[in-house]
Every structure is written in C-alpha cells, then in structure tokens.
C-alpha cells in the first residue's frame, strides 16, 4: 500500500476543487454548484468502481473464472457507460444553461472531463481505495490496464503519476473554458 486511503483522497479532492473554484472567482454560489456536481460525478465513479469490484472480486468467490472472452466485452460496455454518462451530464448542463456558446463549452468540458478521468484510470484507483482495501504495492503489475500493453509495465506508482497528469490537464482545461 502506498499510504493513500479514502479519507485522504476525498479531502484532497475537496480542497483542490474549492481552491480551484475560488481562484476562478466563481463566488460561493458557483463553488456550491460546482461542488454538488463534482460530488455527484465522483459518486458515479465510486459506484461504478463498486460494480467493477463485484464483477472482478466478489463473483470470483462464486466460481467466475477470468477470460478475455467475457472481460473484453464487459470492459467495452463498462467504458460505453462512461461515454454515455459524460454525454448525458454535458447535454443536460447545456440544456439547463439555456443553450449558447458558453453553455455548450461547459457541457463539452463536463463530457471531456468524465472521459479524461475514465481513460486516466480514476475508476481503477477508486476500485482499490474504496473497495479493494488500498492500492497494491509497487511490485504488483496492473496487467489489465491498456498502458501495460503499450509500455510493457504498469503499477500503482505509474497509475498515480498518470492520474495526477490527468487532473492537471482537467484543471487547465477548465481554466481555459471558464476564462475564455
């Protein structure tokens, strides 16, 4: 374990998000709206990680055997759920904003943020942090990640580095969206 636990992760994300909103000058109403939406998206990721935990940990106790035959299809559908969720969040925001270019940009930003967090492996980190008892040590290879097949290695440290990079990209993307 790398010492990260769910309390630390939630507090860290909360402080970063509030600070980010405050620096952008969104005011208290904007901060509260952003926190509520951010928390709901976070809960979606947590519970999707829980569903993945049921498939990849609990069902093995009932005799499920891993096979790329079913896992590939499951992972495809799992990924499609995130794409559709991102589209729904972005579209609903755009509709609720009354349309317009700014509403479209924010809606697209929501969609793009969900995709970046998914492809950045946020679900996998939440899988371990909230459902799996903590991140595995550095010697555990994350063979199911696409980055393993690309680079030939992948572990908890590499995943956290990628996730920090993704968070930085998302923050810079939102600064660009909200300031332009």
How confident is the model over 52-70, as pLDDT tens digits?
A: 999 989 999 899 998 989 9
How confident is the model over 10-49, as pLDDT tens digits?
A: 666 667 666 666 555 556 677 777 778 888 999 999 999 9
Q: Cα(104)–Cα(162) distance, rounded to whole angstroms?
A: 28
Q: What pLDDT does residue 3 have?
A: 45
How confident is the model over 68-97, as pLDDT tens digits?
A: 899 999 999 999 999 999 999 999 989 988
Q: What pLDDT does residue 24 have?
A: 57
Structural domain count of the chain = 1
User: In the structure encoding, which two tokens stand for residue 180, read together?
Assistant: 């332009």
pLDDT reading at 6 higher than 70:
no
The residue to which tokens 């696409």 are assigned: 146
N-term to C-term CA, the chain: 41
Residue among 43, 26, 25 nearest 34 (CA): 26
Q: Cα(19)–Cα(149) distance, rounded to whole angstroms?
A: 37
Query: Which band of pLDDT confidence, cut at 50, 70 and 90, is reported for residue 178?
Result: confident
Query: In this structure, are residues 140 and 155 in contact, taking their beta carbons and an 8 Å threshold?
Result: yes
Q: What pLDDT does residue 2 have?
A: 40
Mean pLDDT computed over 111-131: 93
47: Cβ–Cβ under 8 A, 6 or more apart, which residues?
none
Residue 175 lies in a domain: yes
Residue 1 lies in a domain: no
- Full residue range of the structural domain in which residue 72 is found: 6-179
| pTM for this predicted structure | 0.81
pLDDT reading at 152 higher than 60:
yes
Query: Which band of pLDDT confidence, cut at 50, 70 and 90, is reported for residue 7?
Result: low
Residue 31 lies in a domain: yes
User: In the structure encoding, which two tokens stand for residue 125, read together?
Assistant: 């980190």
Residue 165 lies in a domain: yes
Name the average pLDDT for the chain.
85
Residue 44 lies in a domain: yes
Q: Cα(5)–Cα(120) distance, rounded to whole angstroms?
A: 19
């Amino acid at each position: 374990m790398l010492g990260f636990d769910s309390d630390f992760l939630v507090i860290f994300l909360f402080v970063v998000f509030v600070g980010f909103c405050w620096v952008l000058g969104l005011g208290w109403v904007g901060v509260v709206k952003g926190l509520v939406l951010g928390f709901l998206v976070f809960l979606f990721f947590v519970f999707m990680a829980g569903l993945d935990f049921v498939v990849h940990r609990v069902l093995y106790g009932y005799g499920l055997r891993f096979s790329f035959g079913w896992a590939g299809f499951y992972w495809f559908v799992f990924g499609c759920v995130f794409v559709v969720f991102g589209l729904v969040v972005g579209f609903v925001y755009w509709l609720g904003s009354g349309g317009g270019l700014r509403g479209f940009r924010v809606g697209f930003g929501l969609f793009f943020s969900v995709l970046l967090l998914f492809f950045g492996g946020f679900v996998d980190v939440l899988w371990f942090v909230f459902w799996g008892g903590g991140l595995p040590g550095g010697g555990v290879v994350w063979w199911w990640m696409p980055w393993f097949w690309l680079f030939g290695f992948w572990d908890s440290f590499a995943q956290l580095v990628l996730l920090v990079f993704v968070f930085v990209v998302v923050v810079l993307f939102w600064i660009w969206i909200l300031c332009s």
